[in-house]
């Protein structure tokens, strides 16, 4: 009981201390608040002012960008603009689709087109000297404001966009329109001055009686008001420097204010007139297009009112501050986490789609083009040798494309951000010739010379052929895009010994294209980066190719480097260390396939294969290939028919079953399980291969669980089938 009372006493004591400290803090804070709050109010005024200033800045910059786009569209349509009526109609449409009330075209002789007429000056009373806007202007843009008769009594802002001698937009120079083909000197955009007011907090601080305590305004470098401090939509009421001069007191003289404005400073000053003290915040607009200053004028009473409000709210604020801060912190962490996840997913999807578009379209374009050539030449006997060469190129390209697709479909590897490097015996000369042939037509059709130079000392190496091809295709493909007609691309391959078992294979692509800047060379292997200069600005691309190549070369333990100079060309060097090996078995097998009538090794009776395939075209292709290699294929159109054909066959009549996984009636896995359950001695021993376009791990596991021996991915490579058959035969003979 005593312990409970003691706890309550201490709790009450702590609460009393907290209340005393809290009240003391409020009292002390109230004493110093007057000094502190003035600074706080100034910061508050600055925050409100930033909104208005940014609104005006965005408005002017947006109009400036609109003018750039008008100039770009004018370049495209200039040849269509012959008559005055056509030009008037075109300018009316441009004004309708833009933020401008009027859009004019100023010609090199001072005449100009509007949406309703064409004015040449001289005796024309409505002629306006727009050319004066560009006097004494060193840069390529001018923003001024004035009144125009065509706009009535409305004050306007005039935006002038000068086309000739424009260092940033040289492509827009020399635009000529009209029947006399005069050169366009500038694009003029006109909008009402009141449009600047949209989005501004013109009357900022309002007291309890509804009286305005603060105003936003805009002046030019001469002190003239663009947006008036009393009525933003009205005409100019006065000059800032005159107002400062006439006031009773001011912390700055008119000359001081003008000097600070000319220097582009952000500054404060006080003015007092008729007993009213005003704080003025002045800051230049964050725009390279205008020399305007933003001014916010706030009555000094705002500071006093803010102190009263602050003291009233401080108690509640301090009581809830911790809860609010903790809640905001937790919510911020949650939102930040969600944002990071969403950003990562969006980035991964964007990179995936961009990469695949780049990597798949290139070989697919080659296949489509070769098929077109073969279809046109199939009936020409003189083209048969050429067709054979095209078929070889098409096959190489199709194999490359297939390997890319198989790699893409492995979702687990993509999500983990890993690329599996598969080492196998590869002929360096065959690999190099394949890359050369795939890029030859693409390069030579552009009028670019393509030279190969291959010097090797180790004909066969252990490496990842698919990924090396991918890297070389990226590099040579880029060289083709950035090398103009008449240029040259040299693709060379050389080797040097590392030790008695390893060799360094160096692939070099040297072009005479537009080259790259020294600054860009440090970023070329970053994602989504491309060098932009006058020679390459029209070249499209994702900017992923070099980043992918760098990652692949690093994964293979190699090195990729580049040397380049603007307008002189680039040289990419890829170095891949590899182990020397004998001639690849698959090449030996392909060479010897034509010599063997029966690949199963049984000269007395050809091997009979049951082909379960529901797709007519796939079945026709597969059975024809098997027949060419000496097999006897028998087709089943679905899983149930495959089980029935095998059940009716003689014992050991079929040595192999090629089972499509997705089929009607019974799928491949169900059919395989049904065959294994048959009461005959070869049901358990017949070799069943799962054949499918799906290459996911779950598909592979399901096929093997159903009783299949191995897994073949479509389209079926006959050499891989032969190797797998030999392996299974060896395993059976060793049992």
The average pLDDT across 635-663 equals 91
Tokens of 419: 């690329």
pLDDT for residue 201 is more than 60: no
Q: Pick from 677, 439, 480, 471: which is nearest to 574 by CA?
A: 471
The dihedral over CA atoms of 520, 523, 526, 527, expressed in degrees to the nearest 10, equals -30
Q: Is residue 619 within 8 Å of 613, Cβ to Cβ?
A: yes
Complete DSSP assignment for 94-106: HHHHSS-SEEEEE
Backbone angles phi, psi at 377, to 5 degrees: -105, 5
Query: 253 pLDDT band (50/70/90 cuts)?
Result: very high
Q: Is residue 578 within 8 Å of 495, Cβ to Cβ?
A: no
Q: What is the mean pLDDT of the chain?
A: 76
For residue range 676-696, list pLDDT tens digits in order. 999 998 998 899 998 876 655
Query: 558 pLDDT band (50/70/90 cuts)?
Result: very high
Higher-pLDDT residue of 274, 164:
274
For residue range 151-190, list pLDDT tens digits in order. 555 677 787 777 766 555 555 677 888 888 888 888 888 8
Which pLDDT belongs to residue 305?
66
Q: Where is mean pLDDT largest: 203-212, 365-374, 537-546, 576-585?
A: 576-585
**Window from 19-23, 231-235, 379-383, 449-453 with minimum mean pLDDT:** 231-235
Q: Is residue 398 within 8 Å of 367, Cβ to Cβ?
A: yes
Higher-pLDDT residue of 426, 287:
426
For residue range 89-98, list pLDDT tens digits in order. 999 998 888 8
Distance of alpha carbon 325 from alpha carbon 310, whole angstroms? 19
Query: 231 pLDDT band (50/70/90 cuts)?
Result: very low
Give the other-Cβ count within 10 Å of 151's Cβ: 16
Which pLDDT belongs to residue 2?
46
Query: 412 pLDDT band (50/70/90 cuts)?
Result: very low
The average pLDDT across 3-29 equals 60
pLDDT for residue 145 is more than 60: no
pLDDT for residue 529 is more than 60: no
Which pLDDT belongs to residue 299?
79
Q: Pick from 262, 257, 259: which is nearest to 281 by CA?
A: 257
The average pLDDT across 31-49 equals 69
Which pLDDT belongs to residue 595?
39
pLDDT for residue 84 is more than 50: yes
Higher-pLDDT residue of 426, 418:
426
The average pLDDT across 252-267 equals 91
For residue 269, the cross-strand partners are 280
Which pLDDT belongs to residue 537?
41
Name the 3-class secondary structure at 620.
helix
Query: 505 pLDDT band (50/70/90 cuts)?
Result: very high
Give the other-Cβ count within 10 Å of 79's Cβ: 10
Query: 325 pLDDT band (50/70/90 cuts)?
Result: low
Which pLDDT belongs to residue 592?
43
For residue 33, the cross-strand partners are none
Query: What is the CB-side half-sphere exposure of residue 59 using CA atoms within 13 A?
Result: 20
**Window from 53-57, 267-271, 649-653 with minimum mean pLDDT:** 53-57
pLDDT for residue 591 is more than 60: no
% of the chain at pLDDT higher than 70: 69
The average pLDDT across 32-50 equals 69
Residue 172 DSSP one-character state: G
CA 175 remoteness from chain centre: 32
Contacts of 41 (CB under 8 A, 6+ apart): 298, 302, 303, 306
Higher-pLDDT residue of 413, 307:
307
- 442-469 as b/e, with b when 16 or more CB fall inside 10 Å? bbeebebebeeeeebebebbebbbbbbb
Which pLDDT belongs to residue 324?
60
Q: Where is mean pLDDT largest: 63-72, 266-275, 515-524, 531-540?
A: 266-275
Which pLDDT belongs to residue 434?
87
- 334-369 as b/e, with b when 16 or more CB fall inside 10 Å? eeeeeeeeeeeeeeeeebeebbeebbeebbeebbeb
Query: 673 pLDDT band (50/70/90 cuts)?
Result: very high
For 609, the enclosing helix (H) or strand (E) is strand 608-612
Tokens of 352: 């995936």
Which pLDDT belongs to residue 494?
95
Exposed / middle / buried, residue 564 (Cβ in 10 Å: 0-12, 13-18, 19+): buried
Which pLDDT belongs to residue 635?
93
pLDDT for residue 666 is more than 60: yes
Which pLDDT belongs to residue 335?
79
Higher-pLDDT residue of 657, 186:
657
For residue range 344-378, list pLDDT tens digits in order. 656 656 655 655 665 677 677 777 777 878 888 88
pLDDT for residue 227 is more than 70: yes
For residue 575, the cross-strand partners are 506, 559
Rounded to 10°, the helix 428-444/384-408 angle is 110
The average pLDDT across 524-542 equals 50
Which pLDDT belongs to residue 670?
92
Higher-pLDDT residue of 292, 486:
486
**Window from 193-202, 702-711, 716-725 with minimum mean pLDDT:** 193-202
Which pLDDT belongs to residue 457?
93
Q: Is residue 559 within 8 Å of 553, Cβ to Cβ?
A: yes
% of the chain at pLDDT higher than 90: 17
pLDDT for residue 192 is more than 50: yes
pLDDT for residue 393 is more than 70: yes
**Window from 229-233, 281-285, 456-460 with minimum mean pLDDT:** 229-233
Name the 3-class secondary structure at 210.
coil
**Window from 442-451, 549-558, 570-579, 632-641 with minimum mean pLDDT:** 549-558
CA 577 remoteness from chain centre: 33
**Window from 141-155, 303-317, 456-470 with minimum mean pLDDT:** 141-155
**Window from 326-335, 458-467, 502-511, 571-580 with minimum mean pLDDT:** 326-335
Cα Rg, the chain, nearest whole Å: 40
Query: 624 pLDDT band (50/70/90 cuts)?
Result: confident
Distance of alpha carbon 41 from alpha carbon 211, whole angstroms? 18
Which pLDDT belongs to residue 141?
55
């Amino acid at each position: 009981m005593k312990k409970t009372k003691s706890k309550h006493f201490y709790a009450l004591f702590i609460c009393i201390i907290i209340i005393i400290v809290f009240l003391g803090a409020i009292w002390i804070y109230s004493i110093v608040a007057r000094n502190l709050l003035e600074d706080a109010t100034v910061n508050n005024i600055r925050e409100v002012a930033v909104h208005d200033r940014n609104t005006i800045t965005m408005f002017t910059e947006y109009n400036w960008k609109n003018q750039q786009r008008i100039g770009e569209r004018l370049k495209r349509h200039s040849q269509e603009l012959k008559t005055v009526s056509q030009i008037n109609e075109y300018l009316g449409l441009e004004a309708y689709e833009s933020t401008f009330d009027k859009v004019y075209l100023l010609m090199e002789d001072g005449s100009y087109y509007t949406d309703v007429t064409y004015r040449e000056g001289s005796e024309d009373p409505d002629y306006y000297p727009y050319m004066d806007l560009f006097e004494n202007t060193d840069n390529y843009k001018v923003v001024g404001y004035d009144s125009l008769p065509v706009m009535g009594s409305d004050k306007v802002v005039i935006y002038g966009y000068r086309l000739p001698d424009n260092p940033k937009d040289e492509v827009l120079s020399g635009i000529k329109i009209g029947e006399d083909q005069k050169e366009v000197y500038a694009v003029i955009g006109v909008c009402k001055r009141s449009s600047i007011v949209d989005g501004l907090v013109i009357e900022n601080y309002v007291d309890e009686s509804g009286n305005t305590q603060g105003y936003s305004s805009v002046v030019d470098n001469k002190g003239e008001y663009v947006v008036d401090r009393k009525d933003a939509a009205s005409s100019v009421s006065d000059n800032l420097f005159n107002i400062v001069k006439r006031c009773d007191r001011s912390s700055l003289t008119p000359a001081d204010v003008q000097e600070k404005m000319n220097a582009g400073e952000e500054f404060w000053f006080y003015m007092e007139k008729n007993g009213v003290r005003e704080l003025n915040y002045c800051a230049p607009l964050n725009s390279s297009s205008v020399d305007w200053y933003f001014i916010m004028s706030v009555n000094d009473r705002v500071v006093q009112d803010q102190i009263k409000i602050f003291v009233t709210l401080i108690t509640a604020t301090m009581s809830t501050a911790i809860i609010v801060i903790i809640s905001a912190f937790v919510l911020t962490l949650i939102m930040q986490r969600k944002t990071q996840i969403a950003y990562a997913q969006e980035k991964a999807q964007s990179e995936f789609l961009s990469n695949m578009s780049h990597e798949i379209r290139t070989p697919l374009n080659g296949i489509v083009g070769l098929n077109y050539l073969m279809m046109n030449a199939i009936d020409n006997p003189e083209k048969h040798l050429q067709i054979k060469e095209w078929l070889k190129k098409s096959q190489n390209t199709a194999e490359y494309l297939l390997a890319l697709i198989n790699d893409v479909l492995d979702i687990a590897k993509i999500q983990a951000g890993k690329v599996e490097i598969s080492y196998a015996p590869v002929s360096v000369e065959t690999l190099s010739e394949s890359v050369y042939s795939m890029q030859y037509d693409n390069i030579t059709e552009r009028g670019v010379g393509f030279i190969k130079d291959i010097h090797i000392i180790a004909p066969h190496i252990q490496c990842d052929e698919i990924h090396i091809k991918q890297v070389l295709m990226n590099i040579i493909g880029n060289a083709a895009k950035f090398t103009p007609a008449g240029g040259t691309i040299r693709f060379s391959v050389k080797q040097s010994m590392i030790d008695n078992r390893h060799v360094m294979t160096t692939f070099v692509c040297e072009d005479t294209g537009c080259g790259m800047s020294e600054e860009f060379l440090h970023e070329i292997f970053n994602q989504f980066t491309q060098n932009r200069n006058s020679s390459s600005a029209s070249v499209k691309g994702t900017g992923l190719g070099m980043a992918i190549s760098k990652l692949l070369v690093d994964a293979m333990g190699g090195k990729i480097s580049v040397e380049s100079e603007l307008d002189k060309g680039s040289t990419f060097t890829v170095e891949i260390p590899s182990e020397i090996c004998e001639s690849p078995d698959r090449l030996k097998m392909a060479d010897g396939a034509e010599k063997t009538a029966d690949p199963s090794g049984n000269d007395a009776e050809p091997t009979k294969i049951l082909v379960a395939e529901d797709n007519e075209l796939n079945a026709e292709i597969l059975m024809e290939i098997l027949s060419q290699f000496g097999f006897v294929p028998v087709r089943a159109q679905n899983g149930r028919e495959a089980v029935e054909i095998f059940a009716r066959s003689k014992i050991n009549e079929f040595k192999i079953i090629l089972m499509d996984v997705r089929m009607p009636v019974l799928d491949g896995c169900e059919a395989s399980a049904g065959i294994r359950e048959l009461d005959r001695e070869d049901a358990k021993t017949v070799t069943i291969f799962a054949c499918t376009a799906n290459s996911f791990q779950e598909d592979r596991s399901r096929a093997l669980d159903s009783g299949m021996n191995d897994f073949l991915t479509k389209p079926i490579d006959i050499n891989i089938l032969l190797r797998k058959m030999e392996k299974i035969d060896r395993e059976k003979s060793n049992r």
